[in-house]
């Protein structure tokens, strides 16, 4: 924004979203842009804020929406009231002179207030299940003893209030959101050669979510999240002309973004007899009950029973300070336009890491009491499969710097042939903590445990083998120093009028990953140990406690800078009636893209187990398994605890940020644009594309946010290669603005009533996104929880109904100790159709004032758009469409 960095290096989103009324102009660059731009392999948005002039000018606006005209959600039960919606967006601008012809000001304010009911249908335990009455796989009724702690926790789920195949409970509590932002800009012109510009902007926001958002979600009220945020952005720019051929622009920028996410105060763990180490009412809600996940096994209706508790990703937060200096020099000589520049940035990333301080418990149906594989049965008897809790100080002060340089030339070889070529170099220093509180794991430093002991207690004193701290090594990973990015673009015009233009371009673009994968090395012992326990060592009420089995999160020593090669070719043809037709090919090839993998995945074959040191027998002795039981376990790999089947004994998981992923995107794109003439303008766009990769983000979340790690972490490139999560094969969009000539049609009508009418609309049509099918079980026995089933026929044959979107009979469970043969993202979800429409009336008051009234209709034809269907094979609603993304409410 105004040439200064406006990014959040934790979320990857924009740091401050400016008010539309404060924007003078913007530019979106999506492919093969010049060497001047970098630090990102995706699109770049440049915008310039408005400035004052010699005339005083300003504006006021108010935008109002409520549920009075809203349609009901497609899945709202009969008789269910339309969820509440009250939205107010308002603001003002003012600009003018401070000293005529020399100094000008511009200021802007915008406020946003929203109250929105969020409808969720989920499952809660039935009255029978709360008493321990369940049904086994044979349809027989079985009664299990209910643990005393579980009996109390059952009361935290509300009672069923719905008879629905999609769920037995529905609620619509309100989300509240308040945001304020402002901007002030001063421009001063010393003379015709020297100008100075200064801008300061600020925003504040507060959002209360009634449910726990994100992957670690709870679908019943009472476990919400409070998110607060703020941003300050300062830019100073000095421009100097050196005659008619040379220009220098120097810019300084400072960007501060602060975010804090905490769970709302909820039921306290101590009240329910759960010992998490925190007292009731502890700061930042860490005294709440643990986050309780129930997944796998049979469920009585709909999808699995809702999780319980606040998010295990809270509390979390960050304060990011970015200092930036940019200097660019431009020089024109004959047919050459040279440009040279540097961009230097210093990043201070102070984070509170999102960790399970309140604890996390997983019930997955693996404990099989009474012979029933059901997560809720395990919960009723108080038998979790695993527990996780972090202890200690999760605040870190991360620091890194970047040094970017570029040189480019725009060469007008002929009047109809222009060549732009350049080279960019980017250097990012290795991330460090100001207090040396980072640590990682070096496999070459790992020392195995050879001395067997008789009890788990003895394991607590064992050293953390292979752990290396920041102060012991030059860097926690090896940085790249050869990030050279060449760029070239050619434009050739045909004919004497140059109405036909051919363009071709190629470039290498490096990405910058600062706040996520490298920063996660803050989560390791000895500075931030975690307590990871698995059955049979845990249960109510002492589900948490010290353990010798910490989960590690590290960065590969050979972590590479991701980059993409972008290339395109297009033809642009000018047509009559002020229209332009454009078509071409756009492609991208990504290399060294990041993702998390578990480099310590549990072994599942006898050949792998034979390579373990210490041996399997020694490991079973170390964790305290009685000698008579050891031969029984050794003869049944599937019954062996995962903690004895890892390569690096003592670490149940080593989540490693690596860069093994490749991607390929190919597309044919066409557009037809008509400039505003005779009161009409429009743009039509069509894209036919295909995108393939092994992971679409570094968490491997999937389009439905259900997967974190690969099915088989030892076979990423082949096992995970498939359609990208964002692959959309066909997409069409169109927009128009029509200034209706009412006065011509109704000449007798008063001008104030007949003039100034406009109609506008935006149409979007696209095919669905792909997704993977999961079993919801752990038949592979890796403990990763991402098993895919075997596929025996084409799942995309339909029937494409609400109850069954895809062919669910195409999948069968993978056998024990094997991985499913179904690929990643082989099923395609429903498409998206939307038409937004506006009626606009402008009324002029003299030469200087205008009043505009707008009536906007989102999805005017009320076409239902569905989210991806249930993709878990063990869920009762497997294959069904069960929710709609509320696009309009979030516009």
H-run or E-run covering 716: helix 716-719
Average pLDDT over residues 773-798: 89
Task: State residue 316's pLDDT score.
Answer: 84
Residue 213: the pLDDT is 64
In degrees and rounded to multiples of 5, residue 890 shows phi and psi of -100, 10
d(CA 124, CA 135): 16
**What is the maximal distance between C-alpha atoms in the chain?**
102
pLDDT, greater one: 728 or 218: 728
> How many CB atoms within 10 Å of residue 393?
11
> 617-631 burial, b for 16+ CB within 10 Å, e for fewer?
bbbbbbbebeeeebe
With 80 as the cut, is the pLDDT of residue 523 above it? no
Q: Grade residue 819 by pLDDT with cuts at 50, 70 and 90.
A: very high
**Given this model, what pLDDT does residue 6 score?**
84
397 secondary structure, DSSP code? E
What's the burial of 13, exposed, middle or buried (CB within 10 Å: 0-12/13-18/19+)? exposed
- CB-count burial class (<10 Å; 0-12, 13-18, 19+) for 744: exposed
State the residue for tokens 């959101």: 177
Q: Two tokens at 644?
A: 């004895």
Is the CA virtual torsion 122, 124, 127, 132 positive or negative? positive
pLDDT bin (cut points 50, 70, 90) of residue 10 is confident
User: Which range among 118-132, 210-224, 561-575 shows the weakest confidence by mean pLDDT?
Assistant: 210-224
Q: How far from chain centre, in Å, is Cα 659?
A: 18
From residue 229, give the alpha-carbon distance in Å to each of 194, 316, 632: 37, 12, 56
- Average confidence score pLDDT of the chain: 86
Distance of CA 332 to the CA centre of its chain: 43
Which has the minimum average pLDDT: 95-99, 364-368, 483-487, 675-679? 364-368
743-755: pLDDT as tens digits: 778 777 787 788 8
Q: By three-state DSSP, how is residue 527 classified?
A: coil
Mean pLDDT along residues 101-109: 95
Window from 111-115, 306-310, 759-763, 816-820 with minimum mean pLDDT: 306-310
- Burial class (CB within 10 angstroms; exposed 0-12, middle 13-18, buried 19+) of 751: exposed
Q: What percent of the chain has pLDDT over 70?
A: 90
Helix (H, G, I), strand (E, B) or coil at 36: coil
Q: Which residues contact 690 (CB under 8 A, 6 or more apart)?
A: 665, 666, 667, 723, 727, 729
At residue 463, the pLDDT reads 46
Averaged pLDDT, 343-372: 81
Q: What is the pLDDT of residue 366?
A: 74
Instruction: Examine the pLDDT at 16 and tell me if it is beyond 90.
Output: no
- Cα dist. 579→157, 570, 673, 675, 680 in Å? 60, 17, 5, 6, 11
Strand partners, 523: none
What are the phi and psi torsion angles at 489 (to 5°)? Answer: -145, 140
Tokens found for residue 677: 């003439």
Q: Which residues contact 497 (CB under 8 A, 6 or more apart)?
A: none
pLDDT at 450 over 60: no
Confidence of residue 546 (pLDDT cuts 50, 70, 90): low
Highest mean pLDDT among 85-99, 344-358, 742-756, 863-877: 85-99
The pLDDT, as a whole number, for residue 889 is 43
Residue whose entry in the numeric block shows the structure tokens 């306290």: 268
Answer whether residue 317 shows pLDDT above 80: yes
pLDDT of residue 223: 86
**Residue 708: closest CA among 293, 373, 260:** 293
Statement: residue 428 has pLDDT above 60: yes
Cβ-contact 584, 502 below 8 angstroms: no
Specify the pLDDT at position 456. Answer: 39
The helix (run of H) or strand (run of E) holding residue 587 is strand 579-598
Compute the average pLDDT of residues 523-543: 70
Q: Could you give the CA distance from residue 808 to residue 791 in angstroms, rounded to a whole number? A: 10
User: For 683-718, what is each residue's pLDDT tens digit?
Assistant: 999 999 999 999 988 777 666 655 578 999 998 888
Q: What average pLDDT does the segment 587-613 reach?
A: 92
pLDDT value for 482: 92
Summarize the confidence of residues 773-796 as an average pLDDT.
Answer: 89
Of 44, 34, 45, the closest CA to residue 485 belongs to: 34
Determine the pLDDT at residue 828.
Answer: 96
**Which of 522-526, 730-734, 865-869, 886-890 is the least confident region?**
886-890
- Residue, of 731 and 71, whose pLDDT is higher: 731
300 pLDDT above the threshold of 50: no
pLDDT at 804 over 90: yes
C-alpha 205/C-alpha 682 separation (Å) is 36
- Percent of the chain at pLDDT exceeding 90: 45
CA distances to 96, 241, 331, 583 from 194, in Å? 20, 7, 16, 42
Kindly report the CA angle at 579 between 574 and 581, in degrees rounded to 5? 60
Output the pLDDT for position 431: 87
pLDDT at site 542: 65
What is the pLDDT confidence band of residue 269, given thresholds at 50, 70 and 90? confident
More confident residue, 890 or 277: 277
Residue-level pLDDT at 439: 86
pLDDT of 518 reads: 67
> In the predicted model, what is the mean pLDDT of residues 4-17?
81
pLDDT at res. 276 = 77
Closest CA to 857 of 833, 876, 838, 884: 838
Please give the average per-residue pLDDT across 371-379, as a whole number: 81
pLDDT at 888: 41
CB atoms within 10 A of CB 797: 11
What is the per-residue pLDDT for 831?
A: 96
pLDDT confidence band for 779 (50 / 70 / 90): confident
Q: Tally Cβ neighbours within 10 Å of residue 396.
A: 23
Under 8 Å between Cβ of 437 and 456: no
Distance in angstroms (rounded) separating the CA atoms of residues 310 and 313:
9
The domain limits of the chain are 665-890
Residue 297, pLDDT score:
39
Q: Write out pLDDT tens, residues 466-507.
A: 888 888 888 888 888 999 999 999 999 987 676 899 999 999
User: What pLDDT is attached to residue 454?
Assistant: 45
pLDDT of residue 321: 94
């Amino acid at each position: 924004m105004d040439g200064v960095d406006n990014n959040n290096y934790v979320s990857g989103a924009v740091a401050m979203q400016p008010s539309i009324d404060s924007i003078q102009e913007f530019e979106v660059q999506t492919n093969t842009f010049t060497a001047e731009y970098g630090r990102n392999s995706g699109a770049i948005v440049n915008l310039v804020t408005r400035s004052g002039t010699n005339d005083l000018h300003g504006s006021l606006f108010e935008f109002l929406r409520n549920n009075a005209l809203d349609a009901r959600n497609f899945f709202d039960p009969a008789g269910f009231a339309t969820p509440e919606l009250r939205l107010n967006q308002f603001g003002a601008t003012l600009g003018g002179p401070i000293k005529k012809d020399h100094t000008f000001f511009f200021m802007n304010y915008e406020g946003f207030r929203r109250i929105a009911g969020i409808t969720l249908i989920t499952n809660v335990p039935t009255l029978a299940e709360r008493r321990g009455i369940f049904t086994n796989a044979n349809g027989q009724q079985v009664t299990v003893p209910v643990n005393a702690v579980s009996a109390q926790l059952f009361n935290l789920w509300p009672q069923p209030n719905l008879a629905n195949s999609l769920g037995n409970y529905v609620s619509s509590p309100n989300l509240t959101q308040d945001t304020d932002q402002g901007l002030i800009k001063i421009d001063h012109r010393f003379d015709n050669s020297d100008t100075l510009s200064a801008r300061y902007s600020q925003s504040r926001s507060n959002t209360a979510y009634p449910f726990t958002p994100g992957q670690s979600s709870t679908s019943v009220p009472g476990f919400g999240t409070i998110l607060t945020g703020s941003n300050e952005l300062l830019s100073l720019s000095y421009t100097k002309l050196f005659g008619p051929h040379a220009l220098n622009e120097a810019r300084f920028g400072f960007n501060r973004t602060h975010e804090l996410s905490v769970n709302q105060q909820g039921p306290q763990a101590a009240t329910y007899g759960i010992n998490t180490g925190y007292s009731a009412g502890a700061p930042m809600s860490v005294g709440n009950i643990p986050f309780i996940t129930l997944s796998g096994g049979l469920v009585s209706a709909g999808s699995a029973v809702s999780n319980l508790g606040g998010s295990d990703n809270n509390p979390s937060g960050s304060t990011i300070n970015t200092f930036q200096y940019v200097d660019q020099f431009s020089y024109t000589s004959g047919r050459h336009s040279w440009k040279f520049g540097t961009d230097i940035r210093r990043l201070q990333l102070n984070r509170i890491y999102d960790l399970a301080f309140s604890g996390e418990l997983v019930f997955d149906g693996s404990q099989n009491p009474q012979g029933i594989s059901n997560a809720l049965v395990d919960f009723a008897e108080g038998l979790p499969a695993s527990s996780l809790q972090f202890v200690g100080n999760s605040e870190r002060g991360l620091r890194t710097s970047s040094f970017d340089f570029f040189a480019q030339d725009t060469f007008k070889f002929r009047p109809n042939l222009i060549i732009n070529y350049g080279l960019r170099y980017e250097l990012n220093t290795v991330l460090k903590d100001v207090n040396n509180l980072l640590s990682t794991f070096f496999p070459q430093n790992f020392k195995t445990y050879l001395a067997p002991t008789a009890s788990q207690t003895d394991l607590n004193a064992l050293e953390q083998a292979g752990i290396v701290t920041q102060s012991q090594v030059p860097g926690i990973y090896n940085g790249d120093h050869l990030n050279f990015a060449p760029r070239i673009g050619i434009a050739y015009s045909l004919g004497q009028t140059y109405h036909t233009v051919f363009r071709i371009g190629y470039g290498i673009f490096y990405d910058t990953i600062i706040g996520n994968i490298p920063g996660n090395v803050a989560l390791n012992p000895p500075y931030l140990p975690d307590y990871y326990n698995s059955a049979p060592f845990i249960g109510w009420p002492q589900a948490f406690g010290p353990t010798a089995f910490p989960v590690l999160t590290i960065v590969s020593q050979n972590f590479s800078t991701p980059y993409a090669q972008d290339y395109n070719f297009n033809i642009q043809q000018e047509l009559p009636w002020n229209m332009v037709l454009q078509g071409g090919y756009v492609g991208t090839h990504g290399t060294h893209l990041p993702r998390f993998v578990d480099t310590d995945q549990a072994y599942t074959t006898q050949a792998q187990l034979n390579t373990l040191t210490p041996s399997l027998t020694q490991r079973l002795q170390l964790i305290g398994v009685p000698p008579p039981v050891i031969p029984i376990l050794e003869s049944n790999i599937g019954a062996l605890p995962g903690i004895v089947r890892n390569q690096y004994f003592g670490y149940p998981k080593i989540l490693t940020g690596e860069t093994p992923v490749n991607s390929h995107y190919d597309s044919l794109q066409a557009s037809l644009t008509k400039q505003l003439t005779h009161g009409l303008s429009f743009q039509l766009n069509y894209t036919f594309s295909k995108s393939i990769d092994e992971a679409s983000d570094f968490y491997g979340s999937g389009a439905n946010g259900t997967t974190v790690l690969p099915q088989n972490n030892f076979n990423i490139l082949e096992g995970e290669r498939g359609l990208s999560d964002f692959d959309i094969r066909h997409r069409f969009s169109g927009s128009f603005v029509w200034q209706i000539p009412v006065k011509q049609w109704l000449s007798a009508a008063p001008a104030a009533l007949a003039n100034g009418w406009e109609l506008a609309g935006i149409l979007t049509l696209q095919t669905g996104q792909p997704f993977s099918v999961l079993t919801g079980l752990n038949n592979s026995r890796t403990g990763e929880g991402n098993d895919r089933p075997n596929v025996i026929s084409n799942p995309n044959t339909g029937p494409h109904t609400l109850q069954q979107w895809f062919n669910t009979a195409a999948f069968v469970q993978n056998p024990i100790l094997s991985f499913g043969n179904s690929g990643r993202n082989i099923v395609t979800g429903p498409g998206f159709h939307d038409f937004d429409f506006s009626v606009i009336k402008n009324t002029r008051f003299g030469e200087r004032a205008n009043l505009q009234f707008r009536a906007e209709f989102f999805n005017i034809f009320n076409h239902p758009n569905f989210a991806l269907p249930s993709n878990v094979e063990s869920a009762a609603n497997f294959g069904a469409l069960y929710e709609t993304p509320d696009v309009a409410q979030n516009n």
